[in-house]
Amino acid sequence: MRNLRPIPVLLLFSLLACAELGKEACEQGDWLTIGQRDGSLGRGGEYVERHVGNCAKYDIGVDRDLWEQGRQQGLRVFCTPQSQYQAGRDGKPFNEICAEENLPVHREAYDKGRKYYTLTRRIEMLRAEISDLRRDALASSDPRTSLAGAELKAFMLRMDIDILLRERQKYESP
C-alpha cells in the first residue's frame, strides 16, 4: 500500500464521508483508509456491511480485518473530548461508540458543546424575531405606532440576546 500524505487522506475522507463506495473504491480496496474514515466519523463495526453490499454489486470482496483495524485507528480521532464537544456544538446526536470508561468525560464535553449549540439557535431565533417585528411594523396600516411598539420589543429582545451571548461564552470550548 502506498503512503498517503495528510491532505489527500483528509480530502479522501471528506469526499467519501457520505457517499457510498463506487466500483473504483472497491477495486482499489484501501480498506485501512476507508476504515479510518469510518472510525473517525464514529461508525460502528456493523457499518462494514454497507461496504460489503456496495462492493458485492461489482463482485469485489471487502477485507473486513483491515477495515476494522483502520476503524479502530479512526475511533482514536473520534473518541476525544474535543471531537465530542464539536459534535454537540454542531447539533449532532451523542454517539456512545467510544470506550465505556471514557463516556462520562465525553458526555460532559458533548453536553457543553450541545449547550453552546442550543444557545446559538436561541440567539438566531431572537434575531429573526427582531427582523420580523420591523418588517411587520413597516407593513402595518399605521407604521409609526407599530414601529414604536416594535422597537420597544426589539430592544427587550436585544437585551435577551446580550444575556444569552454572555451565557454562551461559558461554553466556547470543551
For the cut 80, the answer to whether the pLDDT of residue 46 exceeds it is yes
Cβ-based neighbour number of residue 16 at 10 Å? 17
Average pLDDT over residues 25-48: 94
For the cut 50, the answer to whether the pLDDT of residue 168 exceeds it is yes
User: What residues does each domain of the chain span?
Assistant: 6-78, 100-169
| Whole-angstrom distance, CA of residue 113 vs CA of residue 148 | 38
* DSSP secondary structure string for all residues of 125-141: HHHHHHHHHHHHHHHSS
For the cut 90, the answer to whether the pLDDT of residue 63 exceeds it is yes
Cβ-based neighbour number of residue 114 at 10 Å? 22
For the chain, how many residues are written? Answer: 174
Q: How confident is the model at residue 14 (pLDDT cuts 50, 70, 90)?
A: very low
Average pLDDT over the chain reads 88
Q: Sign of torsion, CA 155 156 161 162?
A: positive
For the cut 50, the answer to whether the pLDDT of residue 66 exceeds it is yes
pLDDT of residue 3: 38
- Which residue, 112, 87, 114, 89, is CA-closest to 98? 87
pLDDT of residue 140: 78
The single residue listed with the C-alpha cell 461489482 is 58
Q: How confident is the model at residue 144 (pLDDT cuts 50, 70, 90)?
A: low
- What nine digits make up the cell of 16? 467519501
Q: How confident is the model at residue 139 (pLDDT cuts 50, 70, 90)?
A: confident
| Whole-angstrom distance, CA of residue 66 vs CA of residue 75 | 14
For the cut 70, the answer to whether the pLDDT of residue 4 exceeds it is no
For residue 60, the Cα-to-chain-centroid distance in whole angstroms is: 32
- Which residue, 47, 46, 30, 37, is CA-closest to 15? 37
